[in-house]
Amino acid sequence: MISTSTFNTPCTPNWCPGCGDFGIWSALRRALSNLGWKPSDFVMVYGIGCHGHMVNFLKSYAFETLHGRPIPVAEGIKLANNKLNVIVMAGDGDTFGEGTNHLVHAARRNIDITMILHDNQVYGLTTGQTAPTAQKGFKTKSTPYGVLEEPVNPIGIAVAAGATFIARGFAGDIPFTQSLIEQAIAHKGFSFIDVFQPCVTFNKINTYQWFSDHTYYLPKEYGANDRGEAYKKALEWGDKIPLGILYKEEKPTYEDGIPQIKDKPIIETPLPTREIMDAFINEFI
């Protein structure tokens, strides 16, 4: 246990008062402090959106990437040094507007990183257009007559793509989300947490109250070890939306399959020896 103030930076959070990002931020700080991690013990990788501003409010090794691209940057960081703990923070626009492709592939690779999705159904930073997670009929600046499409299903996609740890949290329940983050970090492989994050400024429908009224906690009996069951849970929407761990499976990671990093991260391996270099050259003589 270390103090959460260890992660303080010179910058003060500039999210709108009451924004769900505060809840995710607190849950993460508490999880990190519980783990006893110092700012030098992990790497945060952010997308672009309101959530991405956390790069300024959480002290750690960090990389605020491009809109839609935190996942491949995080994968590169991890592949080059698989000893690093890597956590991705991404928006729902970030993940399902620009970058859906990356999520699908990271999940099927089962690369050992943790991803936290800020699911607010809008584009916060660009001031309130629809996000791919928005409900059909949802009115925003970009959809004045209501969204015409069905929403993407983040959990459903993670289940289908093969993620080995899939959970849903709620920024309004900080201890619960903290616990999910801790378990996701402890999980070896690709872990994905969809966190309901009320955008108090641009989403007047999916409020804290709405989420409280429409969600339930998965009971202990729910095993979370059957992908088919997890998919059924992913389809639950409306009055009863499940929170908790939907699926968990132990499986070798992508890194486990790379022979050249069996003993140490690739950046710590020596350059090819003179003999190996000569052998490479001799192939062409």
Ligand X SMILES: Cc1ncc(C[n+]2csc(CCOP(=O)(O)OP(=O)(O)O)c2C)c(N)n1
Q: Report the interface residues with ligand SF4, using CB under 6 A.
A: 15-16, 19, 21, 50, 120, 124, 199-202
Tell me the torsion sign for CA atoms 223, 24, 210, 130: negative
> How far lies 8's CA from each of 69, 117, 198, 232, 254, in Å?
26, 22, 23, 41, 33
The least CB distance from residue 75 to ligand X, in Å, is 19
The least CB distance from residue 90 to ligand X, in Å, is 7
Tell me the torsion sign for CA atoms 153, 179, 164, 62: positive
Q: Does 259 bind other proteins (CB under 8 A)?
A: yes
Taking residues 103 to 132 in sequence order and writing x for each that binds ligand X by CB under 6 A, - otherwise, the string is ---------------x-x-xxxxx----x-
The least CB distance from residue 197 to Mg ion, in Å, is 8
Q: Does 228 bind other proteins (CB under 8 A)?
A: no
What stretch of H or E contains 114? strand 114-119
Q: Does 48 bind other proteins (CB under 8 A)?
A: yes
Q: Does 127 bind other proteins (CB under 8 A)?
A: no
The answer for residues whose C-beta is within 8 angstroms of residue 224's C-beta and 6 or more apart is 218, 230, 244, 245, 246, 247, 248
Q: Does 104 bind other proteins (CB under 8 A)?
A: yes
What stretch of H or E contains 87? strand 86-91
The least CB distance from residue 115 to other proteins, in Å, is 14
The answer for residues whose C-beta is within 8 angstroms of residue 70's C-beta and 6 or more apart is 45, 46, 47, 63, 88, 89, 90, 94, 99
Compare residues 136 and 251 and give the one whose CB is closer to ligand X: 136
Q: Does 94 bind ligand X (CB under 6 A)?
A: yes
The least CB distance from residue 239 to ligand X, in Å, is 25
Q: Does 11 bind other proteins (CB under 8 A)?
A: yes
Round to whole Å and give the CA distance between 253 and 177: 24
Q: What share of the chain is helix, strand, coil (3-state, %, to 5)?
A: 40, 15, 45
- Selected binder of other proteins within 23, 31, 51, 60 (CB under 8 A): 60
- Selected binder of other proteins within 27, 43, 87, 199 (CB under 8 A): 43
Compare residues 66 and 152 and give the one whose CB is closer to other proteins: 66
Residues in contact with ligand X by CB under 6 A are 47-51, 67, 91-94, 118, 120, 122-126, 131
